[in-house]
């Protein structure tokens, strides 16, 4: 006797189709976001074949996603050169984040004064996942100067701005950061051991500013201080960036003091507390001593 073949109820079929559709939609979304991230890396544009190679996707799939993004103005296509670019809608959406509480606008006057005092490029950044995201840059007037683009990212532990923010975290959060691959070696100077990171962050808490001694780029040094909100939580950081020929180790204390003053000005304008350079180490009974100004 032939056994009857079990049939799925209509509701079960609908659930399975929804799951398949949902997974497909998420996959397309992730691919579209990856394409936007690649296009944002270079304002000179990308050919379709280059995008297909970077993503590992068929050119037809990449083209289908790009044309959909083009309809919503997230990307644009220059037909004369057959190049794809990031679109105006990305700026419109990103501007909402960049202008959150008008941090960049509030920071600009202090950044310009710090640029004039130090003679070097001044940068403003915030934390995004395990990276420091560059929000704004005021370039030095020197012919040779450090230059990056807003939107550029660097690993937290390699940058002075990142270390200034990390110094505000408790050891448990720093340990979790390290365990999730937070220590990346970009140069021979980069911090590669958690013990070295903890030791350096203790020094940042003591003096109120952090240093990047050729840890992100060889030949470039930075000094940074954290910007605090009304709860003394770090919302961003400010850095002086320049060539090792001009930003010498002998200038670190002077530049650090100026960075702290500028960071405090921005903190006050942002509605934060100016009473300390960085957040005291949580769990410690002692506040971070302020550098003499």
Return the pLDDT at 159: 93
DSSP 229-284: -TTS-EEEEEEEEEETTTS-GGGHHHHHHHHHHHHHHHHHHTT---S-SSPPPTT-
Query: 33: which 2 tokens?
Result: 């976001």
**Residues whose CB falls within 8 Å of the CB of residue 236, separated by 6 or more in sequence, listed in order:** 103, 107, 124, 125, 126, 135, 165, 226, 227, 266
In whole angstroms, what separates CA 268 from the centre of its chain? 23
Q: Give me the CATH code for the 10-91 domain, please.
A: 1.10.10.10
Domain range annotation of the chain? 10-91, 99-269
Strand pairing partners for 227? 236
Return the pLDDT at 23: 64
Strand pairing partners for 85? 76
Return the pLDDT at 149: 77
Q: Domain 99-269: give its CATH superfamily.
A: GAF domain (3.30.450.40)
Query: 175: which 2 tokens?
Result: 């340990």
Return the pLDDT at 42: 80
Query: 236: which 2 tokens?
Result: 């961003």
pLDDT in tens, 45-67: 999 999 999 999 999 999 999 99
267 close to 216: Cβ distance less than 8 angstroms: no
**In which residue ranges of the chain is pLDDT below 50?**
1-3, 5-6, 8, 10-13, 15, 18-19, 276-293
pLDDT in tens, 109-138: 999 999 999 999 999 999 887 889 999 999
**pTM of whole model > 0.75?**
no
């Amino acid at each position: 006797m032939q056994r009857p073949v079990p049939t799925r109820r209509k509701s079960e079929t609908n659930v399975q189709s929804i799951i398949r559709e949902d997974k497909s939609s998420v996959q397309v979304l992730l691919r579209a976001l990856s394409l936007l991230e690649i296009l944002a890396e270079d304002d000179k544009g990308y050919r379709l074949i280059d995008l297909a190679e970077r993503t590992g996707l068929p050119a037809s799939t990449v083209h289908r996603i790009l044309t959909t993004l083009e309809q919503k103005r997230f990307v644009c296509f220059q037909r004369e050169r057959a190049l794809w670019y990031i679109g105006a809608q990305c700026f419109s959406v990103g501007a909402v984040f960049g202008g959150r509480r008008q941090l960049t606008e509030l920071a600009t006057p202090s950044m310009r004064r710090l640029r004039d005092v130090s003679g070097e490029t001044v940068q403003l950044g915030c934390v995004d996942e395990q990276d420091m995201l560059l929000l704004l840059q005021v370039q030095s007037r020197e012919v040779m100067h450090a230059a990056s683009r807003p939107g550029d990212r660097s690993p937290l532990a390699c940058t002075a701005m990142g270390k200034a923010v990390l110094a505000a975290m408790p050891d448990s959060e720093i340990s979790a950061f390290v365990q999730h691959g937070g220590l990346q070696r970009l140069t021979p100077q980069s911090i590669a051991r958690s013990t070295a990171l903890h030791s350096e962050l203790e020094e940042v808490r003591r003096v109120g500013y952090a240093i990047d001694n050729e840890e992100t780029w060889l030949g470039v040094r930075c000094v940074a201080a954290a910007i605090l909100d009304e709860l003394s939580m770090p919302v961003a950081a400010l850095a002086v960036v320049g060539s090792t020929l001009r930003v010498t180790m002998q200038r670190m204390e002077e530049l650090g003091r100026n960075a702290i003053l500028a960071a405090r000005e921005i903190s006050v304008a942002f509605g934060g507390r100016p009473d300390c350079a960085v957040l005291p180490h949580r769990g410690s009974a002692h506040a971070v001593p302020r550098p003499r100004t």
